[in-house]
Amino acid sequence: MKVSRGEFLRLGLAGGTMLALPFGASGCSGEGSTGTLLPSKAKLPEPFKVPLPVPPVLEPVRTDAGTDYYEMTQKAGRVEILPGIQTEVWCYDGIFPGPTVESRSGRKIMVRQHNELPVPVSTHLHGGRTPPESDGYPTDLIPPKNMAHDHSMEGHGSMGMGGFRHSKDYVYPLEQRAATLWYHDHRMDFTGPQVWRGLAGFHIIRDEEEDALPLPKGEKDVPLMICDRSFDEDGSFLYPSLDPSLQGKPGVEEDYMDGVLGDTILVNGAPWPVLEVSATKYRFRILNASNARRYELALEPANHAPFIQVGSDGGLLGAPILHRKIRVAQAERFDVVIDFSQYYVGTEVTLKNRMGQGRTASVMRFRVARKEKDDSAVPGRLSDMAEFHRLAESGGGSPREFRFTRVTDSGRTMWGINGEPFDQERMAARPELGSTEVWHLLAAPAAHPIHLHLVQFKVLSRNGRKPLPTDAGWKDTVDLTSGEEARVLVRFDGYRGRYVFHCHNLEHEDMMMANFEVV
């Protein structure tokens, strides 16, 4: 069943209404994002010239009855991002974005990550329900070869029989529904610069429930990793690290403490690319992999097709939601269908960023090239979401409250939670395995997208009112702008152990982070 015109209008009203929220607070510097624009020194290309690349799907190196085995090498590579000029990237298998892992719900995989970079790394599967030893805890590092005798690193996962190994086996049971996940670096104190250099890739989990739906498939199911970068004259990435070798002092120059905003918008690693499409439906798995930039996505011309959202961070929605625009914070995923049959052949449809200015106001373009038969459809019902609807707070107790604010630590201004910067020894919460808690999250004086590892949650309220249409479904990241607060209902199941929750502005994250332990 397709979404009818009548439903479109009805849903369009509900789905398109966005609260007008103030962005202007101290610490915010325009473009609707918290951060400072870092202008490129290189000549930037004209938009909509480069074809959209799609990262290759990683093949398992072997497979047995219970597990599929993969290997990846984190290393430096040289890629052509700006036409005619090479950029050094640090990435998975030498490509940016890294290869896409495609897995099946309930089928265990193991990913052996080799580290050939000159720095330690820790790989986190964002959105994964993962045992703690494979979750990519910030100090659970894979050492680089030049740091073989540095015993200050915890790195227990990387100690082999013969001493240090420069690889680690991450085990993902994947006992979770189909969803768009992503993996990225999470090294203590250096997440921001290491992701900026290219350590990010997609991980797509599929399952039978989703397979049975007539949604666009194959070449019409396209992941879109959106991120911003800036370039030096010689084509290298610009980033205001205090120590550009990333081996010594962590952090960024004072002016960029709020966040680093690039002036070049990349999709799947290409600047303002173009995708030729037929006049049919396509599914796009949108991920904002930017360090600090938030987007408000809209289509132009806008008078025909909206975004038909079919999935959120945690997989399928119960029913599609129509949006005229979608606000996407860092690390959030929006799984949407765009129906290009609503446009004449020959139309150029631009994916705009309504929060951007000048160059950053555009993301990419779709060129509607031809008509084609379309067997796909967006059913009115996508998933029964029984577990989501059953979710209810367990026991009594008052909600836990976490305030994401600036803090002062030994005279230095930093970011923190409830007045404290990250301390890996401190435990902020000890939820019981199987319990469901309300967490009250408050953000000031800047935008802070809040991410919890291990779990998916339900947004109960935002600013004392009902959640936004973009808060729908299972979430692992909730977007809070300055002065906003949200109550989220979190089910702590899966595994016992220590995990982190943090702000996903990557210039805040290593400070604005805390532990929780599922007991």
Binding site for Cu ion (CB under 5 A): 448, 503, 505, 508, 512
* CA atoms of 363 and 230, how far apart (whole Å): 15
* CA atoms of 287 and 88, how far apart (whole Å): 23
Q: Supply the minimum distance, in Å, between the C-beta of residue 415 and Cu ion.
A: 6
Nearer to Cu ion, 305 or 443 (CB): 443
Which H or E run includes 59? none
Query: Between the CA of residue 147 and those of 115, 164, 426, what are the distances in Å?
Result: 11, 10, 27
Q: Supply the minimum distance, in Å, between the C-beta of residue 505 and Cu ion.
A: 4
Query: Is-contact 488 336, C-beta < 8 A?
Result: no
Nearer to Cu ion, 349 or 506 (CB): 506
Query: Between the CA of residue 211 and those of 104, 235, 331, what are the distances in Å?
Result: 11, 42, 25
Nearest-CA neighbor of 345 among 372, 377, 306? 372
Nearer to Cu ion, 125 or 407 (CB): 407
Nearer to Cu ion, 21 or 44 (CB): 21
Nearer to Cu ion, 147 or 441 (CB): 441
Query: Is-contact 376 280, C-beta < 8 A?
Result: yes
Q: Supply the minimum distance, in Å, between the C-beta of residue 21 and Cu ion.
A: 16
Nearer to Cu ion, 174 or 503 (CB): 503
Strands 333-339 and 307-312: antiparallel
Query: On the CB side of 226, how many CA atoms lie within 13 Å of its CA?
Result: 32
Strands 108-115 and 67-80: parallel
Ranked by CB distance to Cu ion, the top (closest) residue is 503
Nearer to Cu ion, 126 or 166 (CB): 126
Q: Supply the minimum distance, in Å, between the C-beta of residue 123 and Cu ion.
A: 22
**Rounded to 5 degrees, what angle do the CA atoms 447, 243, 98 make?**
65
Q: Supply the minimum distance, in Å, between the C-beta of residue 509 and Cu ion.
A: 7
Nearest-CA neighbor of 498 among 513, 477, 485? 513
Q: Supply the minimum distance, in Å, between the C-beta of residue 503 and Cu ion.
A: 3
Query: Is-contact 286 265, C-beta < 8 A?
Result: no
Q: Supply the minimum distance, in Å, between the C-beta of residue 330 and Cu ion.
A: 9
